[in-house]
Amino acid sequence: MVIPAQRPCIIVTHASVGSGHRSAAIAAAEALERLIAAGDERVPADTEVQVLDILDYGRIKFDGDKTASAFTGPTRPVYDITWRFTLTGRLLWGGGTSWARIMFKKFTEYVEERSPLAIVCTHITAANAAVGARMLTGQAFPIVCVPTDYEIEGWWPHKECDLFCVATEGMAETLRPRRVPERKMLITGIPVRGAAGVEYDRDAVRERLGLPQDKTVVLVMAGAHLPQPYVRFRATMDQTLPYLKGLSDMHFVFLPGRDEEYALHLRRSKDDMAIENMTVMGYVDDMPALMAVSDLAICKSGGLTVTECLCARLPMVLLGRSYGQEKVNTTLLTSLGASMHATTPRELLGTLRHLHTYPSSIKAMLVNGEALRRPNAAHDVASATFDLVSRDCSSRRHFAEFYWGGKPAHTR
């Protein structure tokens, strides 16, 4: 029996620790598929794109979402210290086969079987597993790393990556003292789905969704795949609810996601308090359209969330204490004047009252956000990946490599 040859493939791998890494991976994969469908000659016409969760290939099975939720309570400061100060100074992590040997033998075997044209990684675990697999199999495919926040954590395999696709010049300034050469850095932005090329009729979409035409529409993005990180966010909004009807020129649209219990709580609160300028939506299938016709978002400072808002030209009020990568995101956005930040119900209400009285402040955030807006990020990541396909990206094998870098450009 003749076994048919396998199609050439590009692997896009993430880790299901929260939803952002997966969303970025899907956005990049869709962009790769669009280029292939358009007949891009840099890869074979029959190339397939696979999106893999690296945790599915681990020796030890664990729930990445539950692990992420473990850092939403009293342990958040511990996570903050770990993210901000581990291998971010002069002593740096280069990469090696350690993770692949210990944890991801199954992934290495799959890579050996498929011999991918390239691997795109949106999480550090995926990047390190890809680096190890390439060393152990002796293959020479390129590895493209796509951090999904606005700073770079210390465990990326700096020396073994062939390209870092980063969101800002500031992230490139972090990589330079880590001895990452200029040719291995590209400022693309963070890939998000549906970010470019679609225009919406503002009045028609608002009418379809039952939203007022003459008010500032404020999205309260209080739902996600994981409810645990939103416990404090929702508690703050609950304390703010009684005061919303005093902001008569604003209309608040609450998005509880698939959390029906929280949606019921919001609807009851709306009725009990007679808040007329409030809408509670169920799960929204067309979020890009809703974001495009809104004027302001109240949200957490996750990398994908804020990037989606930036691409939709939706100014933000970032709500809640931020730790780890979210702290960096908050600092960057507020320092550029692209968002405002509130931690407590009083601060949030004061911020909303200011924006209600001076709507020009919303327009100012919109203008300032253009400095970070990169709606073509997914396409740029995909095109840069294709550019590397024909290159020899082999590397020598080593179990683990630490190295001495330069003085960090940014203190943590």
Task: Compute the distance between CA of residue 155 and CA of residue 137 in angstroms, rounded to an integer.
Answer: 22
Q: How high does pLDDT run on average in the chain?
A: 92
pLDDT at 1: 46
The pTM of this model reads: 0.93
- The alpha carbon of residue 26 and the mean position of all alpha carbons in its chain are separated, in whole angstroms, by 11
Domains of the chain: 9-194+375-390 (3.40.50.2000), 202-371 (3.40.50.2000)
Statement: residue 225 has pLDDT above 80? no
Task: Compute the distance between CA of residue 22 and CA of residue 15 in angstroms, rounded to an integer.
Answer: 7
- Cα separations in angstroms, 309 against 66, 204, 319: 26, 21, 14
Q: What is the DSSP letter of 218?
A: E
pLDDT at 407: 94
pLDDT at 85: 87
pLDDT in tens, 300-355: 999 999 999 999 999 999 999 888 889 999 999 999 999 999 999 999 999 999 99
Give Cβ neighbours of residue 11 (< 8 Å, ≥ 6 apart): 50, 52, 111, 114, 116, 118, 119, 120, 130
Task: Compute the distance between CA of residue 122 and CA of residue 54 in angstroms, rounded to an integer.
Answer: 10
DSSP secondary structure of 84-118:
HHTT-SSEEEEE-SHHHHHT-HHHHHHHHHH--SE
Task: Compute the distance between CA of residue 20 and CA of residue 17 in angstroms, rounded to an integer.
Answer: 8
Strand-pair category, 250-255 with 278-280: parallel
Task: Compute the distance between CA of residue 140 and CA of residue 142 in angstroms, rounded to an integer.
Answer: 7
pLDDT in tens, 340-358: 999 999 999 999 999 999 9
Task: Compute the distance between CA of residue 394 and CA of residue 310 in angstroms, rounded to an integer.
Answer: 37
Model confidence at 83, in pLDDT bands (50, 70, 90)?
Answer: confident
What single-letter amino acid sits at 306?
V
Statement: residue 388 has pLDDT above 80? yes
Q: What percentage of the chain reaches a pLDDT higher than 70?
A: 93
Task: Compute the distance between CA of residue 232 and CA of residue 259 in angstroms, rounded to an integer.
Answer: 15
Q: Lowest-pLDDT range, 77-81, 118-122, 159-163, 231-235?
A: 77-81
Model confidence at 232, in pLDDT bands (50, 70, 90)?
Answer: confident
Average the pLDDT over 30-46 and give the result. 96
pLDDT in tens, 175-208: 999 999 999 999 999 999 876 667 899 999 999 9
Tokens of 89: 């100074």
Of 4 and 129, the structure prediction assigns the larger pLDDT to: 129
- Cα separations in angstroms, 337 against 178, 194, 297: 29, 25, 15
Average the pLDDT over 90-109 and give the result. 94
Q: Lowest-pLDDT range, 45-49, 239-243, 391-395?
A: 391-395
pLDDT at 72: 62
Q: Lowest-pLDDT range, 21-35, 76-90, 122-136, 244-258?
A: 76-90
Average the pLDDT over 212-237 and give the result. 84
Statement: residue 2 has pLDDT above 60? no
